Structure 1
Amino acid sequence: MRVVVAPDKFKGSLTAVQVAERVGAGLQAVAPEVDVVALPVADGGDGTVDVALAAGFHAVPATASGPTGEPVQTRWARRGDVAIVELAAVCGLVRLPGGRPDPLGASSIGLGEVIGAALAAGCRQIVVAIGGSAGTDGGAGLLTALGAVVRDATGRPVPLGGAALAGATSLDLTGLDPRLAVTDLVVACDVDNPLCGPRGAAAVYGPQKGATPADVATLDAALGHWAGLVADATGTDHRDDPGAGAAGGVAFAARAVLGAALRPGIDLVLDLLRFDEHLAGADLVVTGEGALDEQTLAGKAPAGVAAVARAAGVPVVAVTGHSALTAARLRAAGIEQAYALTDLEPDVARCIADAGPLLEELARGLARDRLRGAVVT
């Protein structure tokens, strides 16, 4: 028998790579003859580079600007001329010094610096995972790193950060890196928020980044002003495009100025991992994430994995910390059964603290249920 283990991370407990390792160990402890293919996945947010490395991409170290300007050590993933860059690992919330938010001043410039490094290395397909951003700068920092200049009324470059965009008067794209014109840029984007307004980047995601109601108003007005400058410079207005508000407006700048395509994160990751090729000859797929709930069904990794596996005729089960979905809802998503840590240990705190050993135990039970012909008695 052949089992493909394709989980996302258990946030706060285990990375996707660790989840796959623990599940594989549990399965083979009970059914050692089973061929287990570990293929950890991500939904296009943090952890995307890690799963790419586990799938055979190689790591490229880089130094870039963090969200508030301090240099950070990071890495991106490469296979041939394909690069995967992760915003969270450069200028995301996890990169804020001391964890102190800076909603008005945080910038996406570091992301542009890493993309620039990938361009310089000869990569001509660049995939950008944009989840977990710390700022709301409309992607102005991203563009600045790639050669654009945002100027104020005196002709000077405006400071970095979303709030400073209120003082911008022009966007000069003449210095934009010419290699972008021959590069396929794709952004993993799972939301449909516009750039501005009550469903925009500042209103919906600003508070998660430390923005007060007054900050939200400041940022939203600045983003509206910025969108007008971008429209003047490019001849098109993308502020209302679905997904433009993702990552504090980074998706807006990538789409409006760099011509990037926006694609659902899990679909993009599965394509990069050549998931459909791994399904050939598989008898079972095991997917999962820390919690299975309604958000899971709205494009998260387990739902994406299940959809592709079901189309290939391969049954799917899931492992999770806790499931809030009924059996009928799971089956509708293509998941035959969910195995939850809380079935073994009702104490959620213990499930989080001991997720690894509990997950192996869960996988042993899964093997006894689903791999009967290969189980050693």
Structure 2
Amino acid sequence: MKIVIAPDSFKGSLSAVEAAEAIERGVKKALPESDATMVPIADGGEGTLETLVVATGGFTRSVTVMGPLGDDVEAIYGILGDGETCVIEMASASGIGLVPKGELNPFLATTYGTGELIAEALDDGYRKFILAIGGSATNDGGAGMLQALGARLLNELGGSVGFGGGNLKHVRKIDLEGFDERVADSTFLIASDVENPLIGPSGASFVFGPQKGASAEGVEVLDQHLEHWADEVERTTGVRLHDKPGAGAAGGIGGAFQAFFPSRMERGIDVVIAYTDLEEKLVGAELAITGEGQVDSQTASGKTPMGVAQAANDLGIPTVVIAGSVGDGIEALYPYGVIGVHSMVNRPMTLDAAMKEASRLLESSTEQVVRSFFHSHVQNKQGGLVL
């Protein structure tokens, strides 16, 4: 009896690999003789690098780069098992998790470190890139990344413009004379499920700015600065980012890739499914189990549980979702083949307690879900019904 285990990370408590291992233990308690196949998954956000590296038998390299607020951070990039493809997770260098909550400031936060990671990988000879751009602390339109790769952002006096979304208003010229020529000889696959434009009510500042520390007034100012930046980008490259889908991803870095890099954007979950061979590993399974920390109405917009369920459903395989918490709107997952959404929290407890006990809770919940599913499965088969 084959069960495919394909969870995302449970943020703050379990990586995707750790979650898969906990689910596997639960499956084995319920069905010791089962064939439990682990395929840790991510959707383009944090954990994508680890997932792809583990799935393909690759390796990682550690690099000291500039963090979002200018301090040094230890970031990593990964090389897939093919020895040619470099995976860069923006959150590793420019992520919101690198900034203490009270210090979040999109006016100052820069993507410079992400550019440094790309430069290091180029130095090491890599020309094929996957960029996972979720979880950023920035709203600088990717300006810092361009600066790290040799572009000069000049003010009206010809001086260099500082870092962060607050300085974009000073840009009067984007000088690409020193921009790394190796970029043009490379390919960049951008893993992101964000389709927001760069500016406006649905743009980077208004939608994502508040979670990065922007006030209501600050959001409006940041949007104005990004509009000015978009004008300068269009003047320089001919590419209009203002209302371009995906340009607002990760504080506008999605737009920078669209305008300055030979790139294409794909839904993060689709990229990971392809590189982990999930569809091939699902063949012959009777159940797929997936999950993540929070499942709600947003999950059906391209997050891991929906992507796994879609892939399984195409093969006629039902999917069960196990989550840390379950919010409103989960019925949106049912058309994709999800037959149940379960919380692993089995009694009243604080969030801190649930996160500390996450591995045990996930294991226990999985055991109960699998026992229930396969009891019903057997009963239906004995009654002549096909589940």
Per the TM superposition, whether the score is higher than 0.5 is: yes
Match of 1:45 in 2: 45
Structure 1: distance between partners of 2:330 and 2:229: 47
Aligned partner letter, 1:64: V
1:94 corresponds to 2:97: yes
Does the Cα contact within 8 Å between 2:248 and 2:255 map onto a contact in 1? yes
Task: Tell me which residue corresponds to 2:79.
Answer: 78
Query: What is aligned with 1:294?
Result: 297
Pick aligned residue for 1:185 from 185, 188, 203 = 188
How does 1:8-157 map onto structure 2 within 5 Å?
8-55=8-55, 56-79=57-80, 80-96=83-99, 100-157=103-160
CA drift at 1:323: 3.0
The equivalent residue for 2:280 is 277
- Contact kept in structure 2, 1:93 and 1:99, CA below 8 Å: no
Aligned equivalents of 1:207, 1:315: Cα separation in 2: 37
What's the CA shift string for 1:334-362, capped at 9, x where partnerless? 112223224x3244544334221121111
1:122 is matched by which residue type in structure 2? G
Q: CA deviation at 1:316?
A: 1.6
RMSD: 2.1
| Alpha-carbon distance, 1:112 to partner | 0.8
**Which letter maps to 1:345?**
R
Partner of 2:381: none
Take 1:200 and 1:326, find their aligned partners in 2: how far apart are those partners?
24
Aligned with 1:219 (options 218, 222, 243):
222
Give 2:73's aligned amino acid.
V
Alignment check: 8 A CA contact 2:115 2:146 kept: yes
Superposed, which structure 2 residues align to 1:241-260 within 5 Å? 241-260=244-263
SS of equivalent to 1:336: strand
| 3-state secondary structure, aligned to 2:209 | helix
Instruction: Provide the C-alpha distance between the structure 2 equivalents of 1:168 and 1:293, rounded to a whole number of angstroms.
Output: 40
Aligned to 1:310: 313
Gaps of 5+ in 2: 379-387
Moved more, 97-106 or 81-90: 97-106
SS at match of 2:226: helix
Q: 1:263 aligns with which of 266, 284, 296?
A: 266
- Tell me by how many angstroms 1:169 deviates: 0.9
Instruction: Provide the aligned length of Structure 1 versus Structure 2.
Output: 373
| Cα distance change of structure 1 residues 122 and 274 upon mapping to structure 2, 3 Å threshold | farther
In 2, are the aligned partners of 1:112 and 1:142 still within 8 Å (CA)?
A: yes
Instruction: Please tell me the residue identity of whatever aligns with 1:21.
Output: E
Aligned-partner Cα distance in 1 for 2:305–2:37:
16
Query: Which of 234, 240, 244 lines up with 2:243 in the alignment?
Result: 240
Taking the aligned partners of 2:142 and 2:330, their CA distance within structure 1 comes to: 42
CA contact 1:124–1:184 (8 Å) conserved in 2: yes
Structure 1 regions of 5+ residues with no counterpart? none
| Cα distance in 2 between the residues matched to 1:306 and 1:72 | 36
The yes-or-no answer on 1:159 pairing with 2:162 is: yes
In structure 1, distance between residues paired with 2:15 and 2:36: 18
Query: Residues of 2 paired with 1:14 and 1:184: CA distance?
Result: 32
For 1:75, the aligned partner's letter is I
